[in-house]
Structure 1
Amino acid sequence: MRVWRGDATGGELVDYTVPVEEGEVVLDALHRIQATQSGDLAVRWNCKAGKCGSCSTEINGKPRLACMTRLSTFEQGETITVTPLRTFPVIRDLVTDVSYNYRVAETIPAFAPQPRPADGAYRMQQVDVERGQEFRKCIECFLCQTVCHVIRDHEENKPAFSGPRFFLRYAELEMHPLDTNDRRQLAREQAGIGLCNITKCCTEVCPEGIHITDNAIIPMKERVVDRSFDPVTWLGRKIFRRDQLEEAQVPQGRAE
């Protein structure tokens, strides 16, 4: 194995020869390096079951979960190179600072449901339930974020571009039939969804198999375009807004 060792000031790839057993994954090999050769190797992990997203790394140049990447997927004798997520600052060895993602998450308006009906039961179509279930499969491994070339290759884009994980979040909220917030303008102006050129690289690396591009980003782009540029939608907003203003200006007692 070849593992990147270093910190924010710099580092290098270090070679290790690691004994492994059938059925093991890359994270097992990293743990064996910790136990037998380099006890100070830093690697983030938690569940070892592909559900926490903690062990995100780049393995032979591809963003993957170390706990879900079987050693048997590589050729006999092939060197396995493990490096930290390229898009985020290195803290130490394979551990990166992904706090950028949490700062972005804080800017998205939360779910705001409609008032509960008199009988206390919300109702949704089954198709809406199933669509939302796909989006909520996200484990926040941020592999889609690190592979997105808009921020991977252009650090200066981060303040204006939220990335695929959060376009997924926008879509999850906007497509919920009970939600009352309208985040389409934010998706365009704050999240920078227009900068995404739908190469589908985020979908390709998603360990949960979420169709991020087809089911979230493209529909959100369509909603944003409808709101901002569709003349019929624009006229409807103008008329609706004018009606609201006229109602607000009618003196009390003369609403009839």
Structure 2
Amino acid sequence: MTTAPTTGTSTGTGYTARFKVWRGDAEGGGLEDFAVEVNEGEVVLDIIHRLQATQAPDLAVRWNCKAGKCGSCSAEINGRPRLLCMTRMSVFERDETITVTPLRAFPVVRDLVTNVGFNYEKAREVPSFVPPEKLAPGEYRMQQEDVDRSQEFRKCIECFLCQDTCHVVRDHEENKQAFAGPRFLMRVAELDMHPLDAAADEGLDRKTTAQEEHGLGYCNITKCCTEVCPENIKITDNALIPLKERAVDRKYDPLVWLGNKIFRRKE
């Protein structure tokens, strides 16, 4: 049921807010207007749940923890990729109309639920950590500095907001086959800087594969991925830019080029 919007009038400690929520499926859809009660301290996910309970019982939304740690409730609020459970209603004006739409970069399943299978396909394309041959589990040793460098990237909750906001994925469907996106280029960067990763011993050059197989060159470091990350990971500054620098050094450094020539000649 759709309720005509009213102004953001106060009712005791709460008020009535105006919402526009996208309803539909893969065949199409549009925005529907709702007037819904908002109470102090609530987040957008609370309002979506209230809509399900009172006006739109068939409204589809994906969520799990409601604590900003599972990454399930990703959507776009007023056009910006956000987690529904971490977006407080207090950041909006009471007379503001709040628009909630599904992630634009991925196919709609129904209402606010999208098919993010693209991301899992890209995850499988990144070769996993290669343990050192002569070290058994439990014998790995790393400097704390190296632990700290990669620990930041391990905070990723795979909400895929960075993937959604990246214009290479968002605005160009044809790029998806060749471009892994910021989340998985960050994974490549993490493995490339890992001091115990022995991928090179097996002939895997992560810098080269980042460029040639995962589309690192498509990234033009606009930092939009960093701006929407709910874990405040410096994706661009600490992962993508350093990875680009290492990839360029590998490809164009004359000493590296000469070393490769000599190494091949010895073979």
TM-score (norm 1): 0.92
Does residue 2 in structure 1 map to residue 20 in structure 2? yes
Look up the equivalent residue of 1:20 and give its one-letter code.
V
Q: 1:118/1:171 Cα in 2 relative to 1: closer, same or farther (>3 Å)?
A: closer
> What's 1:242 paired with?
265
User: Within 2, Cα distance between the matches of 1:140 and 1:120?
Assistant: 28
Q: 178-187 or 212-221: which moved more?
A: 178-187
In structure 2, what is the Cα distance between the partners aligned to 1:29 and 1:146?
A: 23
AA matched with 2:67: A
How far apart, CA to CA, are the structure 2 residues paired with 1:51 and 1:92?
23
Which position in structure 2 is the counterpart of 1:109?
127
Q: Which moved more, 1:65-74 or 1:186-195?
A: 186-195
Partner of 2:233: 210
Correspondence 1:63 to 2:84? no
Q: Confirm whether residue 100 of structure 1 aligns to residue 118 of structure 2.
A: yes
- Give unmatched runs, 5+ long, in structure 2: 1-18, 200-204
Instruction: Give 1:115-126 correspondences, 5 Å limit.
Output: 115-117=133-135, 121-126=139-144
Question: What fraction of aligned residue pairs are identical, expressed as a percent?
Answer: 70
- Of 201, 212, 229, which residue of structure 2 is paired with 1:189? 212
| Pairwise CA RMSD | 1.3
Q: Aligned runs of 1:52-201 on 2, under 5 Å?
A: 52-117=70-135, 121-181=139-199, 182-201=205-224
Q: What displacement does 1:123 show?
A: 1.6
1:250 counterpart residue number = none
Give the counterpart letter for 1:14 in structure 2.
Answer: E
Separation in structure 2 between the aligned mates of residue 118 and residue 109 of structure 1, nearest angstrom: 20
Task: Please say if 1:46 is aligned against 2:64.
Answer: yes
SS at match of 2:100: strand
Q: What is the CA distance between 1:117 and its match in structure 2?
A: 4.1
Tell me, yes or no, if the aligned pair for 1:56 and 1:141 is still in contact at 8 Å: yes
Higher strand fraction (1 or 2): 2
TM-score by length of 2: 0.89
- Counterpart Cα distance in 2 of 1:118 and 1:147: 41
Question: What's the CA shift for 1:189?
Answer: 1.0
Shift, 1:192, TM fit: 0.8
Give the superposition deviation at 1:126.
Answer: 1.2
**Structure 1 letter corresponding to 2:255:** V
Cα distance change of structure 1 residues 211 and 119 upon mapping to structure 2, 3 Å threshold: closer
**Residue 229 in structure 1 maps to residue 252 in structure 2:** yes
1:120-155 residue CA offsets vs partner (Å, 9 max, x unmatched): 522211111001100100000000000001111111
The one-letter amino acid of 2:265's match is R
Answer whether contact 1:116 1:122 (CA < 8 A) is retained: no
> Which segment drifts farther, 230-239 or 199-208?
230-239
Q: Tell me, in whole angstroms, the C-alpha distance in 1 between the residues paired with 2:191 and 2:74.
A: 26
**Following the alignment from structure 2 to structure 1, what is the Cα–Cα distance between the partners of residues 261 and 217?**
24
State the 1:241 CA deviation. Answer: 3.5
In the other structure, the counterpart of 1:253 is: none
Aligned mates of 1:186, 1:118 — CA distance in 2: 27
Letter in 2 for 1:230: D
Give the letter for the 1:157 counterpart. N
- The alpha-carbon distance between structure 1 residues 114 and 157, as it changes in their structure 2 partners (threshold 3 A), is same
Amino acid in structure 2 at the alignment position of 1:239: I
Distance 2:82 2:136 in 1: 48
* Cα offsets for 1:11-38 (capped at 9, x unmatched): 0100111112100000000000001111
Q: How many residues align?
A: 244
Counterpart residue identity of residue 35, structure 2: T
